[in-house]
């Protein structure tokens, strides 16, 4: 009986900590790093620059992102890339979930440490 209780406790502890280990979309993080980091810094730093309503407005208003990046050829090429087009909704969700007033503060993990850009 004692062994059963210990196993249950260890299993429940493991189940509690595993979702906390990765609470953001690492695929979106890597895509934003590849496409946007050179101008905007790390994806979390980039996301914190505006609030969730602004991110939704930028992504859902046709041509808004292109207009913002019109004088930046590297930015325009990133927006026109197939990688951006395929994952546009995923990227929007990442930026909204990690935006200015989201209340999320990420520390160091295997993908990200600090806000150096």
Summarize pLDDT for 61-113 with one digit per residue, the tens.
999 999 999 999 999 999 999 999 999 999 999 999 988 888 776 655 555 55
Give residue 106's pLDDT: 66
Report yes or no: 42 and 33 within 8 Å, Cβ to Cβ.
yes
Residue among 61, 47, 57 nearest 97 (CA): 47
CB–CB of 105/114 below 8 Å?
no
Residue 28: CB partners within 8 Å, gap ≥ 6? 43, 87, 90, 91, 93, 94
Residue ranges of domains in the chain: 26-97
Please give the average per-residue pLDDT across 33-42, as a whole number.
Answer: 91
pLDDT at 19 > cutoff 70: no
Tell me the pTM.
0.72
% of the chain with per-residue pLDDT over 70: 76
């Amino acid at each position: 009986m004692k062994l059963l209780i210990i196993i249950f406790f260890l299993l429940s502890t493991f189940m509690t900590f595993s979702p906390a280990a990765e609470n953001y979309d690492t695929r979106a993080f890597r895509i934003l790093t590849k496409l946007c980091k050179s101008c905007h810094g790390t994806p979390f730093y980039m996301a914190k620059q505006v609030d969730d309503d602004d991110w939704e407005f930028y992504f859902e208003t046709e041509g808004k992102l292109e207009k913002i990046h019109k004088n930046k050829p590297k930015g325009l090429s990133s927006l026109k890339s197939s990688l951006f087009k395929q994952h546009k909704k995923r990227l929007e969700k990442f930026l909204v979930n990690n935006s200015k007033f989201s209340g999320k503060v990420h520390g160091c993990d295997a993908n990200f440490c600090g806000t150096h850009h």
